[in-house]
Amino acid sequence: MKKLNVAIIGYGRSGCDIHGAFLRSPSNDICNVVAVVEDDPAREAAAGEHFACDTCNSYTELFERSDLDFVVNASYSDLHYPITKDLLAHGLNVLCEKPLCKTPEMVQDLIDTAQANNAVFTIFHQYRFNDYYIKMYELLNKKVIGDVRLVRACQNSFSRRYDWQTLLYRDAGSMRNNAAHSIEQIMDLAGSDEMPKIISKLDIWNSVGDAEDYLFCTLEYPNGVRYEMEVNPSDAFAGDAAVFIIYGSHGTMRVYSDRIIYRYFLDEEVPVPVLEHKSLHHPDGSPAYCNNHLVWHEERVDFEADVWNSYAKCTNRFYHSWYDTLVNGAELYMKPEHIKAQIAIFREIERQNPLEARFTKPADVL
């Protein structure tokens, strides 16, 4: 199998612990890391040791190379757009971390730059490759709980963050960092890149920065399903929470990272209710209440118990899909046009909930 030469920009939590973890793993049969860009000396040394590759302090040094098949942009979020644009302008293919950029207009600019320079780029939204999501999507299409009425997505924790992901000037916050994956999944479930009707709330509960750590929003699409998304940093019971709870006409589904449990009834086992215009009573004349005589069935599907192994699996699947696009011309899995629609949703939520920027980038911070 042909291997692609890749450079990584940024060897922090994402570059090292997500992309780097896959690229160092036995599952990587498709890429050779030939360069890492990192200005932190310890991380630069670690990258050189992990991959026995070239290291440098500026991504512009990559422009001198002729051996790159694509570049992973795992820089700070506010640098995703300018660095990706520069890479595309130099004809390099790019896999960019989320969030891609601040506005839909910026996404369009990247699309135009890529087309003008015969380059391809995608955005690292890998969560649709999770086992739980693949199976959930399949079961919902089979209507195992009937017609879907309400979808609730949850990414709760008890968190008091104090890193750069709490700063507006870094394009940070819970929406673009945490909720981005679930909102992308919701768009897929809705089968629409249209702008939904949105009601939302952003707030700062526990973090020390000026970007939101709390998000709640409802998204309503023309399909009639209501979608709700919450990122709550004050949930001390979050370890017991489902990532999705889905309510249908014939039952309910709870989706966790390691299992799906759903309870449902079958039409053929349940009498069809007949409307009664008067109060109900038992044969002896005493008052009665509605009783559908439901016969409940419950099923369970189990997945990888180790959550980190599960995440590694979906990263593996994303990279192989990206490889198939670059090498075999397969259709791009995560299209920039789709992410443009997602960022339009972000902008509407931010319009509804303007936050005051209280911090500026220090002079000694890149």
User: How far is Cα 303 from Cα 252, in angstroms, rounded to an integer?
Assistant: 19
Same-domain pairing of 132 and 120: no
pLDDT at 365: 74
Token digits for 280?
Answer: 């109900």
SS3 state of residue 224: coil
pLDDT in tens, 239-258: 889 999 999 999 999 999 99
| Cβ contact 132:262 at 8 Å | no
pLDDT at 292: 84
Could you tell me the pLDDT band of residue 203, with boundaries at 50, 70 and 90? very high
Same-domain pairing of 150 and 238: yes
pLDDT in tens, 142-160: 999 999 999 999 999 999 9
Same-domain pairing of 116 and 214: no
Which of 124, 153, 178 terminates a domain? The answer is 124
pLDDT at 96: 98
Segment (H or E) for 341: helix 336-352
pLDDT at 304: 80
Segment (H or E) for 189: helix 180-190
- What's the number of domains the chain is made of? 2
Across residues 28-32, what is the average pLDDT? 97
pLDDT at 291: 85
Residue 30 reports pLDDT greater than 90: yes
User: How far is Cα 283 from Cα 292, in angstroms, rounded to an integer?
Assistant: 17
Find the range with the poorest average confidence among 33-42, 207-216, 281-290. 281-290
| Cβ contact 325:134 at 8 Å | no
**Which is higher by pLDDT, 366 or 95?**
95
**Mean pLDDT, the chain, integer:** 95
In terms of Cα–Cα distance, which of 192, 177, 160, 217 is closest to 353?
A: 217
User: How far is Cα 228 from Cα 36, in angstroms, rounded to an integer?
Assistant: 39
Same-domain pairing of 102 and 245: no
330 assigned to some structural domain: no
pLDDT at 233: 97
Token digits for 364?
Answer: 């000694």
User: How far is Cα 85 from Cα 113, in angstroms, rounded to an integer?
Assistant: 7
Residue 179 reports pLDDT greater than 80: yes
- Phi then psi dihedrals of residue 37, to 5 deg: -105, 120
Find the range with the poorest average confidence among 188-192, 206-210, 275-279. 275-279
Burial (CB count <10 Å: 0-12, 13-18, 19+), residue 259: middle
Q: How far is CA 42 from CA 11, 49, 74, 220, 309, in A?
A: 10, 11, 17, 47, 26
Token digits for 5?
Answer: 């030469």
Q: How far is CA 349 from CA 81, 102, 168, in A?
A: 20, 12, 14
Across residues 104-129, what is the average pLDDT? 98
Residue 1 reports pLDDT greater than 80: no
Residue 73 reports pLDDT greater than 80: yes
Range of the domain at 50: 4-124
318 assigned to some structural domain: no
Residue 272 reports pLDDT greater than 90: no
pLDDT at 350: 98
Query: SS3 string of 24-72?
Result: HCCCCCCEEEEEEECCCHHHHHHHHHHHCCEEECCHHHHHHCCCCCEEE
Same-domain pairing of 154 and 220: yes
pLDDT at 348: 98
pLDDT in tens, 167-176: 999 999 999 9
CATH number assigned to the domain comprising residue 280: 3.30.360.10
Residue 64 reports pLDDT greater than 80: yes
CATH number assigned to the domain comprising residue 15: 3.40.50.720
| Cβ contact 265:295 at 8 Å | yes
In the numeric block, the tokens 């899909």 are attached to 321
User: How far is Cα 115 from Cα 127, in angstroms, rounded to an integer?
Assistant: 27
Pairing of strands 214-220, 197-203: antiparallel
pLDDT at 239: 86
Could you tell me the pLDDT band of residue 293, with boundaries at 50, 70 and 90? confident
Single pTM value for the model:
0.94
pLDDT at 201: 98
Residue 306 reports pLDDT greater than 80: no
Phi-psi region of 55 (alpha: psi -120 to 50; beta: other; left: phi over 0): beta
pLDDT at 175: 97
Same-domain pairing of 269 and 166: yes
Same-domain pairing of 153 and 298: yes
Query: How many percent of the chain have pLDDT more than 90?
Result: 90
User: How far is Cα 137 from Cα 96, in angstroms, rounded to an integer?
Assistant: 26
Residue 83 reports pLDDT greater than 90: yes
| Cβ contact 196:345 at 8 Å | yes
pLDDT at 160: 96
214 assigned to some structural domain: yes
Same-domain pairing of 132 and 262: yes
Which of 66, 93, 124 terminates a domain? The answer is 124
Q: Which residue type sits at 335?
A: K
Same-domain pairing of 8 and 147: no
| Cβ contact 47:8 at 8 Å | yes
Residue 310 reports pLDDT greater than 90: no
pLDDT in tens, 314-332: 999 999 999 999 999 999 9
Segment (H or E) for 253: strand 251-255
